[in-house]
Amino acid sequence: MRKGLLCAAGVLCGVFLATGVSAGKGGADSKARVLSPMRIAGAFALTGGGAALDREAADGAKLAVKEINAGGGVLGRTIEFIVKDTQYRADEAARVGKQFVELERVVAGIGFADTDSVLAIGPSFQARGIPFVSVGATSPGLPQQVGDTLFLACFGDNTQAAAGAEFVLKNFGKTAYLLWDKDMDFTVLLAGYFKTHFQSMGGSVVLEDRYDDRTTDFSGHVARIKALPEKPDFYYVSAMPYNVGEVIRQLREAGITGPIMGGDGYDTPDLIKMAGPASDNVYFTTHALMDPEHGTVPIRNFIAAFRNEYYRSPANAFAALGYDAMRLVADAASRAGSAEPAAIRKALEQTTDFPGVTGSITFSPGSHVPRKGVTLIRVKEGRLTRAGEIVPREPPSP
């Protein structure tokens, strides 16, 4: 007997529940088997520089586990979600990865919103053939770098950069100033993809600049901008969640008032908290607008369930990505009819039109990165507002 589980997002999870009754040698008198839990790893930077995104993702995943278990679990098993803090350190992510696969004996894993952490943990899961779904590491080359056990629940940086390029060309103009954090894979890749797509459509980058991840004084960057013979139409700044607010604040205080565009690293309350009124006229690409009034129906339902569980609203879209990643793994195990890692990996690869809160997800043997719509956000008067949604034309190759 099987039935679907309706989740908080108001969509069918695709998780099927088995009775767990064994017919065995005991026939009609046999007792229901108590199956061991399905152990799933949760690897997150709950402290350190990535915590603003990963804490939300972890809470979203925990909510999904609670709902799935309340509905009877997966294949008659409950999910045991084992969460570990990697402290936003690559060495700790690598250590935790080995612990998950060697000691905890997990059948799948989810986690991380940053590329460097996924690159650190990925080899341990790949070596054991255990699937790992990244909630928000947006480097589209990750599956090729790590191997066929890695999947992304989010779009790739090439997709969000292309969406940002198409948006600014349409709304702001053809000349750009480009600035990026040179020490992080995410920010370097995002800036590169943006430049490639922007120029392919006729845009011109009038000045490129970069900064060290620990930079606190951007006066030199400001001076180079002001030395330009003409102001660019907008400023594309590829930054991390923990430094984007400071970059923007200093640009605005120096009198640079034009539109600023960036990626999903901006999707943190720290942007407005650190930049204050300077964050107005800032735009960024992300996975969904977490708005209880103007978000999609699945988003509104998810926010209501999240509030009911945690007595607060989700801080950003990474909460919904964590929720989607956990449901993806549960759905794959259900369709596979097995909690074996190889079966879950194969079923993940065969996922078609999975109804995620952050959008429909489809994988294939040739692509472990879903092509999803990109939400454009505008900061206006201290609030995040929806500026549009774009599925970009032919984004740059990974």
State residue 35's pLDDT score.
Answer: 85
Confidence of residue 244 (pLDDT cuts 50, 70, 90): very high
In terms of CATH architecture, what is 158-286+375-390?
3-Layer(aba) Sandwich (3.40)
Q: What angle is formed at CA 23 by the lines to CA 18 and CA 27, rounded to 5 degrees?
A: 150
What residues have CB less than 8 Å from 131, skipping those under 6 apart? 108, 109, 125, 149, 150, 151, 329, 332, 341, 344, 345, 348
Q: pTM surpassing 0.95? A: no
Predicted confidence (pLDDT) per residue in 44-73, tens digit: 999 999 999 999 999 999 999 999 999 999
- Judged against a pLDDT cut of 50, whether residue 28 lies above it is answered with no
* Percentage of the residues of the chain whose pLDDT score is greater than 70: 91
- Residue 201 pLDDT: 97
For residue 29, give every residue at least 6 positions away whose Cβ sits within 8 Å of its Cβ, in sequence order, or none.
Answer: none
Spatial separation of the C-alpha atoms in residues 264 and 172, rounded to whole Å = 20
Asked whether the predicted pLDDT for residue 170 surpasses 60, the reply is yes
Question: What pLDDT, on a 0 to 100 scale, did the predictor assign at position 6?
Answer: 44
- The reported pLDDT for the residue numbered 287 is 95
Specify the pLDDT at position 8: 53
How far is residue 389 from each of residues 76, 116, 237, 385, 386, measured CA to CA in Å? 39, 28, 20, 12, 8
CA 139/CA 114 separation, integer angstroms: 9
CB 258 within 8 A of CB 235: yes
Strand pairing category for 282-286 and 4-6: unpaired
Closest CA to 359 of 320, 329, 395, 331: 320
Rounded to 10 degrees, the C-alpha dihedral 229/277/295/316 comes to 90
Q: How far is CA 372 from the centre of its chain?
A: 12
Is the model's pLDDT at 279 over the cut of 80?
yes
Minimal CA–CA distance to 9: which of 76, 57, 74, 60?
Answer: 60
What confidence score (pLDDT) does residue 186 get?
A: 93
pLDDT of residue 398: 87
Q: What number is the average pLDDT over the span 199-212?
A: 98
Q: What average pLDDT does this structure show over 360-389? A: 93
| pLDDT tens-digit map of 300-352 | 999 999 999 999 999 999 999 999 999 999 999 999 999 999 999 999 999 99
**Least confident span in 106-110, 174-178, 318-322, 381-385:** 381-385
Asked if residue 317 lies in contact with residue 287, where contact means CB atoms within 8 angstroms, the answer is yes
Average the pLDDT over 124-140 and give the result. Answer: 97
Segment 247-262 mean pLDDT: 97
Beta-strand ranges (E) seen in 73-143 are: 79-85, 108-111, 132-134
Q: Which residue ranges does the chain devote to CATH 3.40.50.2300?
A: 4-155+292-367, 158-286+375-390
Q: Is the pLDDT of residue 13 over 80?
A: no
- Token code pair at residue 277: 């009124």
Q: Hey, which CATH number is domain 4-155+292-367, 3.40.50.620, 3.40.50.300, 3.40.50.2300, 3.30.420.40?
A: 3.40.50.2300
Q: Which amino acid belongs to residue 264?
A: D
Mean pLDDT of 121-149: 97
Tell me if 262 sits within 8 A of 239, measured CB to CB. yes
Q: Can you tell me the distance from the alpha carbon of 160 to that of 172, in angstroms, rounded to the nearest whole number?
A: 17
Looking up tokens 């901006």 gives: 266
Say what the pLDDT of residue 7 is: 53
Radius of gyration, alpha carbons of the chain: 22
Does the structure show a pLDDT above 60 at 174? yes
